[in-house]
Amino acid sequence: MISRFKRNFHTFADMLLFIRIFFWINLIVLMLKLLSFSRMLVLLTPKRPTSIQATDRRALISKVPKYTDFILGRNWWIYRMNCLKRALVIFRVLRLYGIDVQICMGVRKDHLSPAVDPDTHLQGHAWLMVDDKLFLEDSRSMTTTYTPVFSFP
C-alpha cells in the first residue's frame, strides 16, 4: 500500500495537494454538522483564487478527484464515499486554483427502496460542472434522471 501511495506523488506539490484535500475533507465533515448549507458554501468559495497555467490546470483537474477518491475510498470513520462530501471537497479545491466549477444537486423518486408511499421517497445526488460541462459523472443519463433543485454559484 505504501508503494502505491508513493507512486501517485511525483512532486512535493502533489503531496501538498493531497494534504490540502485531506484537511478539507475533515473540515467539510465538521461544517456539514455545524453550519447551514448556504453559509458553508459561502465559506467554501475563496475570495481570491490562485491562477494557474493551462497545463497545470489539466493536471489539477485529474489529480484532485483522484486524491479525493483515494481518501474517501477508505470507507472508514468519516472517510466514506458520499457524493455530497466528494463534490464539496472537489469544488473547494478547484475553486482555490481559479477553476470555474459549479456544484449542482438534484432529487428523484426512488422506486427501488421499499417505502409506505413510493411517491414520497426521494433520492438526492450532488454533481459538478466544470466550464459548464458535466464533470466526473460516469454517465450523463445518471444526472438527467435527477431534477435539479440547486446549483452554486
Residue 9 pLDDT greater than 80, yes or no: no
36 Cβ contact list (under 8 Å, min separation 6): none
Choose among 102, 142, 100, 101: nearest CA to 125: 142
Alpha carbon separation from 70 to 81, 109, 121, 122, 153 (Å, rounded):
10, 30, 31, 29, 27
CA-CA distance, 58 to 2, in Å (whole number)?
A: 26
Give, as one character, the DSSP assignment of residue 5.
Answer: H
Task: Give alpha helix (H) positions in the chain.
Answer: 2-7, 12-34, 37-44, 54-72, 83-96, 140-144
Lowest mean pLDDT among 26-35, 66-75, 106-115, 142-151: 106-115
**How many structural domains compose the chain?**
1
26 pLDDT exceeds 90?
Answer: yes
Q: Could you list the residue range(s) of the whole structural domain that residue 132 is in?
A: 2-152
User: Percentage of residues in the chain with pLDDT exceeding 70?
Assistant: 84
d(CA 79, CA 26) in angstroms, rounded, equals 8
The pLDDT of residue 116 is 53
Residue 50: pLDDT above 60? yes
Q: What percent of the chain has pLDDT over 90?
A: 38
pLDDT, tens digit, for every residue of 91-122?
999 999 888 899 999 988 876 655 555 556 78
**pTM score, two decimals?**
0.84
Query: What pLDDT sits at residue 127?
Result: 92
